[in-house]
């Protein structure tokens, strides 16, 4: 009898009928050996046959290890029939289609009837949808790079990212099917985006952006809802966690804008339907960006060889345990594996947030001149007394530029290139004498006033190295009109002081001796975040903009501060 690795065959465009009669198509990879074999499924809108050339080797390796591997185009994409409804639109079909496809996989010839699913980014979304479907034949899930709520990555405030995703990744195939003009491939669309990205990122009013950019009228309608309705959560998973009946691996990176995937671990560990499902939840957060777990460089920093995790090996350890009943050791590790930046080492934890966290307030201080790192802004744990506020002018015609990867993903880049900006307030500690670990979700409490009726406040946590390299760690934003929640928008009274709460993304970092902890406060980070025009309009139907004079207070009555989740040293 043959033993792994097996030779592999592949059958293209195998038809799977959904409950409504629509046909979805998959490539099916099979071991050339006597079965039966478990099935590993992945569902993608990005072309099952390409995925930038990285998918097929993974599929073949998994099949060679003794699995039937099914790679399916989701509804309306590439080889599959039907209409594509994206994840940020109500009525997406992926829970129902996930159920039907899992059960179809279980009935394939030579299948054991046991099915697992995996995917990254949108594939992480479809993997979660399969978990929520409670398909009887599903045994486990491996989901990467996807959060639990649409509002976690604030697409309403990040149209630039949505434009790039639509124009380069989604629209070409749809344009081809509809008979619209080029681009019809991602490669050509990428080239076009590089030439025209400046035009579309700065375009106002956004209502005048042509439908063709999004792939026609139907797709454009989804985006226009996204651009006009803040805080909408089309996922609507909040009541579905008790439907989850399988173990799930939740994986993301600290430099992934979907890092709140870790919330999926917490919610399912608490609410999943069975004891096995609850105890079978696992999370892994590494030194990666979005879809970049195969590289220890994420921007300009090498996080060390320990941060490199071989993707296929990890998948096999997970699926072999749950689909083949092999003790691979993966369930003997802690339920949460965190890569601690700065220490460049993995550590197992039992809960999130960490029970031993000591929440510590670092207060803003200055003599009123905190602009740029050459100013007098500083952070310390002492409460402020009577202090002069800091001011800056935010002009949406000249926003603070985002410093990130050119394909609009997050990454590590030296933020000191912004040091000359007068519209960024900088508060930093003295060089540290001892290591300081911050692991969790920092919160900024900002007392501020604006001359405008609406504006934004940005907070960015930075690790300043002794050589001056300013390493971005985490960031957050508040749009003033939504300071009390999306359900109750309220404009500002110009000149009135408000307390704003800014939740930063989760992070795990050790600030080493000689480093400084720094917090940057501004009102823009473009094109990572949309510009607030300071007029109270949404920028969708109006291009009018005004400058805003911002005042940040830090005195005894207005103790602006960042609350850090400090982890005590052993």
- Rounded to the nearest angstrom, the gap between the alpha carbon of residue 274 and the centroid of all alpha carbons in its chain is 28
The count of other CB atoms within 10 Å of the CB of residue 1 is: 4
Q: Quick check: 556 and 385 in contact, CB under 8 A?
A: yes
Question: What CA–CA distance (Å, rounded) separates 66 from 393?
Answer: 62
User: Residue 2, class by beta-carbon neighbours within 10 Å (0-12 exposed, 13-18 middle, 19+ buried)?
Assistant: exposed
| C-beta of residue 505 within 8 angstroms of C-beta of residue 440 | no
Q: How far apart are CA 134 and CA 242, in angstroms?
A: 10
**Which segments within 98-215 are labelled E, that is strand?**
111-120, 138-144
Q: How many CB atoms lie within 10 A of CB 495?
A: 10
Residues across the chain: 570
* Residue among 569, 432, 404 at smallest CA distance from 513: 432
In whole angstroms, what is the distance from residue 47 CA to residue 162 CA? Answer: 19
Residue 153: φ, ψ to 5°: -110, 15
Separation of alpha carbons 538 and 541, rounded Å: 7
Which residue is associated with the tokens 């929520």? 132
Distance CA 96, CA 113 (A): 19
Show the tokens assigned to 551.
């005042």
- Name 50's bridge partners: none
256 part of the active site: yes
Q: Residues 156, 222, 290, 554: which is the catalytic one?
A: 290
**Six-digit token pair at 59?**
């599929």
CA 330 to chain centre: 25
**Spatial separation of the C-alpha atoms in residues 538 and 543, rounded to whole Å:** 9
Q: Which helix (H) or strand (E) holds 269?
A: helix 262-271
Name the residue among 480, 518, 485 with its Cα closest to residue 499. Answer: 480
Please say whether the beta carbons of 139 and 116 come within 8 A. Answer: yes
Q: CA 267 to CA 262: how far, in whole Å? A: 9
Q: What is the DSSP string of 476-514?
A: EEEEGGGTT-TTS-----TT--EEEEEEPPPEEEEE-TT
Paired with 449 in beta bridges are: 551
Q: At what angle do helices 171-178 and 186-201 cross, to 10 degrees?
A: 110
Q: Check if 537 is active-site.
A: no
52 burial level (CB within 10 Å; 0-12, 13-18, 19+)? exposed
Annotated active-site residue 290? The verdict is yes
H or E stretch including 193?
helix 186-201
- Candidates 27, 94, 256, 520; catalytic one: 256
Distance CA(381)–CA(361), nearest Å, equals 6
Distances (CA, A) of 17 to 14, 26, 252: 10, 11, 32
Q: How many helices (H) does the chain have, and how many strands (E)? A: 10, 23
**Annotated catalytic residue, options 121, 366, 450, 474:** 121
Catalytic residues: 121, 256, 290
């Amino acid at each position: 009898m043959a033993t792994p690795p097996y030779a592999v065959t592949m059958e293209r465009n195998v038809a799977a009928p959904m409950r409504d009669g629509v046909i979805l198509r998959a490539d099916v990879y099979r071991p050339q050996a006597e079965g039966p074999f478990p099935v590993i499924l992945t569902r993608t809108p990005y072309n099952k046959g390409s995925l930038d050339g990285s998918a097929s080797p993974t599929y073949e390796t998994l099949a060679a290890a003794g699995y039937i591997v099914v790679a399916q185009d989701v509804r309306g994409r590439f080889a599959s029939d039907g209409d594509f409804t994206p994840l940020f639109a109500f009525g997406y079909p992926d829970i129902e289609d996930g159920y039907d496809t899992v059960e179809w996989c279980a009935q394939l010839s030579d299948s054991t009837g046991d099915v697992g699913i995996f995917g990254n980014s949108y594939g992480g979304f479809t993997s979660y949808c399969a978990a929520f479907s409670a398909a009887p034949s599903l045994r486990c899930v491996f989901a990467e790079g996807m959060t639990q709520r649409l509002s976690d990555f604030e697409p309403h405030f990040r149209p630039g990212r949505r434009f790039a995703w639509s124009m380069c990744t989604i629209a070409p195939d749809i344009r081809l099917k509809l008979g619209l003009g080029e681009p019809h491939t991602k490669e050509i669309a990428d080239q076009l985006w590089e030439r025209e990205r400046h035009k579309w990122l700065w375009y106002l009013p956004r209502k005048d952006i042509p439908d063709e950019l999004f792939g026609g009228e139907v797709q454009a309608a989804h985006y226009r809802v996204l651009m006009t309705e803040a805080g909408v959560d089309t996922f609507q998973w909040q009541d579905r966690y008790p439907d989850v009946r399988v173990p799930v691996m939740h994986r993301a990176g600290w430099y992934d804008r979907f890092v709140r995937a870790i919330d999926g671990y917490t919610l399912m560990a608490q609410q999943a339907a069975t004891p096995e499902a609850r105890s079978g939840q696992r999370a892994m957060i590494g030194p990666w960006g979005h879809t970049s777990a195969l590289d220890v460089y994420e921007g300009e920093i090498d996080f060390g060889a320990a941060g490199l995790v071989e993707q296929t090996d990890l998948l096999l350890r997970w699926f072999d345990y749950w689909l083949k009943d092999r003790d691979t050791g993966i369930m003997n590790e802690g339920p949460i594996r965190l890569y601690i930046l700065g220490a460049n080492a993995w550590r197992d934890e039992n809960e999130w947030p960490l029970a031993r966290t000591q929440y510590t307030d670092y207060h803003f201080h200055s003599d009123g001149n905190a602009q740029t790192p050459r100013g007098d802004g500083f952070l310390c744990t002492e409460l402020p007394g009577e202090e002069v506020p800091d001011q800056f002018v935010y002009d949406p015609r000249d926003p603070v530029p985002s410093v990130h990867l050119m394909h609009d993903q997050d990454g590590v880049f030296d933020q000191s290139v912004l040091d000359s900006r007068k519209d960024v307030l900088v508060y930093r500690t003295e060089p540290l004498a001892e290591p300081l670990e911050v692991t969790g979700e920092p919160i900024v409490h900002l007392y501020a006033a604006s001359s405008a009726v609406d504006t934004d406040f940005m907070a960015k946590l930075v690790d300043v190295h002794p050589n001056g390299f300013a390493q971005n760690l985490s960031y957050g934003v508040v749009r003033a009109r939504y300071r009390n929640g999306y359900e109750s928008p309220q404009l500002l009274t110009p000149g009135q002081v408000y307390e704003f709460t800014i939740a930063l993304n989760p992070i795990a970092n050790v600030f080493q001796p000689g480093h400084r902890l720094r917090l940057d406060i501004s009102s823009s980070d473009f094109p990572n975040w949309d510009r607030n025009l300071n007029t109270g309009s949404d920028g969708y139907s109006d291009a009018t903009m005004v400058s805003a004079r911002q005042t940040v207070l830090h005195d005894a009555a207005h103790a602006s501060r960042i609350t850090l989740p400090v982890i005590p040293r052993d």
